[in-house]
Structure 1
Amino acid sequence: MDYAAVGATHAPDLMQYPPEHSIPAEESWRIGSGEERFQIAGEALLSWTAQRAAGLSLQDVRPAAGPAYAGVTFDEEGTPIAPSTRDVEQRFDAEGTPFVGPGMTIRLDGRVGGMRADAELRVISVTEERRHIGFVLGTVGDSVVSGEESFDLQWREDTDEVWFTVRAFDAPVGLLYRVLPALVKRRRRELFARYLRAISPLYATPL
């Protein structure tokens, strides 16, 4: 990773106390209700639909070496938990691209709102539970920003609603972004909007 605060997107106080020199962002949307909606959205999320629909191209997808690696996980307060040693079954989409997997490294290429979005990224953790599906993606290098994104789907037991939450922090790396931090926020807003359209093109309701 090219940043120190690995896993910080799961910190409860991310928006108040982001990693040094970084700009935090968070959005949540209600995207429907019920188990079927949750499962369909989860399948889309773990098959890289959000990234592809954002106009980004997946290149050089490299699963983690060894079947035992399961990535870092976090408790409800955002505290890291020791990595699991269980084997994780690898799945593939219709084009043969591996689903999101812990420890996987990928290359994304493309532009968002006219701004460069190329980067090498690593999947830090993956969550697949009965009511919670998500993963954390962090930069490894060759990006205009350094930082992390977390993608989470929650099927709430009390209301039956399905919510999609994306959290991120970006530290400017490229010269233009260091000089004009507002571009970092603009780039992030555009990414969030595209992620939402990808996971829920019909049912989005802002929080």
Structure 2
Amino acid sequence: MATSPIPPRRLERLRSAPLTYAAVGASGTASAPAGYRTVHEERVLQRLDLDGAAEDLLTWRVHQRAGLRVAASTPRAAPGAVVDMRLGPGPLSVRIPCRVVCVVEEADRRGFAYGTLPGHPESGEELFLLRRGADGRITFTITAFSRPATALARVGGPVGTVVQDAMTRRYLAALDRLVGRPPS
């Protein structure tokens, strides 16, 4: 399933919008900013192909396989790229606009982080990182910090936490489910 393009007017608004938090890059550090909930989960993958796993991650297939509808400004995560995801059915779906703030492309580490844009129910950043160990096994780590940004997210309270935790588990499982599937 290929990503969709973002309509030009919406893309321009998202490109010019500021991130909704100040600590850009903090998802890649040991501590999150004060007042934010943190998530740090990892999974050792069954698959052993770092290049293939990185391609699935960087081309938004992990997000799609986790159940999101993805529209992106670029087919591959790149600094400054905008991704406008949706969760839920049709008109009841929640928009999840983000901007890629960094990309990691090293010999044994690949991934990216994105930050929230206005309209996202949360404010914060999420890092998706693949790391190949000395034994050749790949660990997929997700590190995030967030807090409610909209009235609905604040009223929803614990429901937002449950949804975020469920999505983290879905992302972590998605890479192994993509093994052997050709890109669409």
Q: TM-score range by the shorter chain?
A: 0.7 to 0.9
Shift of residue 32 of structure 1?
A: 3.1
Return the alpha-carbon distance in structure 2 between the equivalents of residues 191 and 33 of structure 1: 20
Q: Which amino acid aligns with 1:62?
A: S
Q: Which amino acid aligns with 2:64?
A: R
Q: Which amino acid aligns with 2:124?
A: G
CA deviations on 1:3-39 (whole Å, 9 max, x unpaired) are 11111111113xxxx32332111101000364xx212
In the alignment, what sits opposite 1:149?
Answer: 126
SS at match of 2:45: strand
1:32 aligns with 2:43: no
Runs of 4+ in structure 1 over 6 Å off: none
TM-score, with length taken from structure 1: 0.70
Q: Which amino acid aligns with 2:23?
A: A
In the alignment, what sits opposite 2:108?
Answer: 131
Return the alpha-carbon distance in structure 1 between the equivalents of residues 163 and 94 of structure 2: 9
Choose the corresponding residue for 1:11, options 8, 17, 29: 29
In the alignment, what sits opposite 2:153?
Answer: 177
Q: Kindly indicate whether the alpha-carbon contact (under 8 Å) linking 2:47 and 2:176 is maintained by their aligned counterparts in 1.
A: no
In the alignment, what sits opposite 1:54?
Answer: 66
1:2 aligns with 2:20: yes
Q: Kindly indicate whether the alpha-carbon contact (under 8 Å) linking 1:33 and 1:160 is maintained by their aligned counterparts in 2.
A: no
In structure 2, the CA distance between the partners of 1:11 and 1:116, relative to structure 1 (3 Å rule), is farther
Where in structure 2 are the equivalents of 1:30-179 lying within 5 Å?
A: 30-32=44-46, 34=48, 37-59=49-71, 61-63=72-74, 98-111=75-88, 117-157=94-134, 159-179=135-155
Report how many aligned residue pairs link the two structures: 159
Q: Which amino acid aligns with 2:172?
A: L
Q: Which has the higher helix share?
A: 2
Return the alpha-carbon distance in structure 1 between the equivalents of residues 97 and 153 of structure 2: 18
Return the alpha-carbon distance in structure 2 between the equivalents of residues 57 and 106 of structure 1: 10
Identity %: 30
